[in-house]
């Protein structure tokens, strides 16, 4: 069967529970093949070590993937005190060991330092680029370069469990936060070292991993059963308020025309006759400007 016949237009969002040991792109391509989707993308990578929620976009939903990239993320992480690795996680080589002479009370005492706005220095083992080259490629050659600190926000941070030298944390953080770096910085505040041994993303914005499907379960389903896991493209836009337009205004919107709207300034998801038309911005003067439009979304005249 040729690729032209095999791939089809699929529009929607899949909440995938990515397994550990798999890259985000490999998970995306596997899911894409299961749906025979002509166009697919994800909303932000998870490291191979990490498991959990990976929202995938097909077709017209890919137009809104950037909106979820900036959403807050919630993780459950396990860190091991007393052992530092070159990557900051269990995939790395041990570079330092140190005694652990503290307990839960001391960990709880330093947590407030890491709540709220803070600055992180990204790890060398990251996909950030310097002169077009990923930092992790430099790190593998033993090259370390200076990295500028980045502003991030830890909205919540609490201990889920502490046993031996292992500590389990749950945190909600802003885009760009490195949980590996947080674990290392937390250990440094205790005069120790640490690395991540497990990481699971349990939420992206308002989307929760309890509503996600594991890849092996998805593969075992029939085509019809698989389709029941596919959500509408506006799944990615639930944090935005909605504007409902009549048929005439809907036609104007999908053709890129700005017009007055009875709404406060801000970004909106826009509908007409029960169909998502796209997203638009209302400016200070009350004019709605289309920003991204769903193909074939024009209401019937």
| Residue 61 sits in the same domain as residue 131 | no
Per-residue pLDDT, 300: 47
| Residue 25 sits in the same domain as residue 148 | no
| Residue 8 sits in the same domain as residue 62 | yes
Tens digits of residue pLDDT in 224-246: 999 999 999 999 898 899 999 99
Per-residue pLDDT, 146: 76
pLDDT over 60 (residue 299): no
The pTM of the whole model exceeds 0.75? yes
Classify strands 73-81 and 194-204 as parallel, antiparallel or unpaired.
Answer: antiparallel
Question: Which of 235, 252, 283 is the last residue in one of the domains?
Answer: 235
pLDDT over 50 (residue 1): no
- Report the candidate in 254, 261, 258 with the shortest Cα–Cα distance to residue 298: 254
Q: Is residue 300 part of a domain?
A: no
| Residue 150 sits in the same domain as residue 87 | yes
| Residue 151 sits in the same domain as residue 125 | yes
Q: Is residue 128 part of a domain?
A: yes
| Residue 153 sits in the same domain as residue 112 | yes
Q: Which domain holds residue 131?
A: 73-204
Per-residue pLDDT, 193: 97
List Cβ neighbours of 254 (8 Å cut-off, separation of 6 or more).
277, 278, 290, 293, 294, 297, 298
pLDDT over 50 (residue 2): no
- Report the candidate in 234, 270, 229, 265 with the shortest Cα–Cα distance to residue 249: 270
Residue-wise DSSP of 170-199? EEEE-TT--HHHHHHHHHHHTT--EEEEEE
Longest dimension (CA), the chain: 73
295: pLDDT confidence band, cut at 50, 70 and 90? Answer: confident
| Residue 249 sits in the same domain as residue 279 | yes
pLDDT over 90 (residue 11): yes
pLDDT over 80 (residue 5): no
CATH number at residue 147: 3.30.2350.10
| Residue 95 sits in the same domain as residue 164 | yes
CATH number at residue 262: 2.30.130.10
Question: Which of 219, 235, 251 is the last residue in one of the domains?
Answer: 235
Q: Is residue 33 helix, strand or coil?
A: helix
Q: Is residue 299 part of a domain?
A: no
| Residue 59 sits in the same domain as residue 176 | no
Q: What is the sign, positive or negative, of the torsion defined by CA atoms of 100, 103, 107, 109?
A: negative
List Cβ neighbours of 32 (8 Å cut-off, separation of 6 or more).
40, 56, 58
Determine the distance from the C-alpha atom of residue 280 to the mean position of all C-alpha atoms in its chain, rounded to a whole number. 22
Q: Is residue 27 part of a domain?
A: yes
| Residue 79 sits in the same domain as residue 199 | yes
pLDDT over 80 (residue 301): no
| Residue 216 sits in the same domain as residue 278 | no
| Residue 124 sits in the same domain as residue 52 | no
Q: Is residue 287 part of a domain?
A: yes
- Take residue 78 and report the two structure tokens written for it: 């396990």
Residue positions annotated with a catalytic role: 47
Residue found under tokens 């991030």: 152
Tens digits of residue pLDDT in 83-141: 999 999 998 999 999 999 999 999 999 999 999 999 998 776 766 777 777 777 777 77
Q: Is residue 30 part of a domain?
A: yes
| Domains held by the chain: number | 3
Per-residue pLDDT, 162: 97
């Amino acid at each position: 069967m040729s690729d032209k016949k095999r791939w089809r237009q699929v529009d929607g969002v899949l909440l995938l529970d990515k397994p550990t040991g798999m890259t985000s792109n490999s998970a995306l391509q596997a899911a894409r093949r299961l749906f025979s989707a002509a166009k697919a993308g994800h909303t932000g990578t998870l490291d191979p070590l990490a498991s959990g929620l990976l929202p995938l976009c097909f077709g017209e939903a890919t137009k809104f993937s950037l909106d979820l990239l900036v959403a807050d993320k919630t993780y459950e992480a396990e860190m091991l005190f007393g052992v530092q690795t070159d990557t900051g996680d269990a995939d790395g080589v041990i570079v330092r060991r140190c005694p652990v002479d503290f307990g839960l009370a001391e960990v709880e005492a330093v947590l407030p330092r890491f709540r709220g706005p803070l600055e992180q220095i990204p790890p060398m083992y990251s996909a950030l680029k310097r002169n077009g080259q990923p930092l992790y490629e430099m790190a593998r050659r033993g090259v370390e370069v200076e990295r500028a600190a980045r502003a991030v926000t830890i909205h919540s941070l609490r201990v889920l469990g502490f046993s031996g030298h292992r500590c389990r944390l749950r945190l909600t953080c802003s885009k760009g936060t490195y949980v590996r770096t947080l674990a290392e910085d937390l250990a440094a505040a205790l005069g120790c070292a640490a690395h991540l041994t497990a990481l699971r993303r349990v939420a992206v914005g308002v989307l929760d991993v309890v509503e996600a499907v594991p890849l092996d379960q998805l593969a075992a389903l029939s085509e019809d059963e698989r389709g029941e896991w596919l959500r509408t493209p506006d799944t990615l836009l639930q944090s935005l308020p909605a504007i409902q337009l009549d048929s005439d205004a809907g036609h104007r919107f999908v053709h890129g025309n700005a017009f007055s709207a009875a709404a406060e300034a801000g970004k909106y998801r826009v509908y007409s006759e029960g169909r998502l038309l796209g997203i638009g911005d209302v400016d200070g003067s009350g004019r709605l400007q289309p920003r991204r439009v769903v193909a074939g979304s024009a209401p019937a005249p």
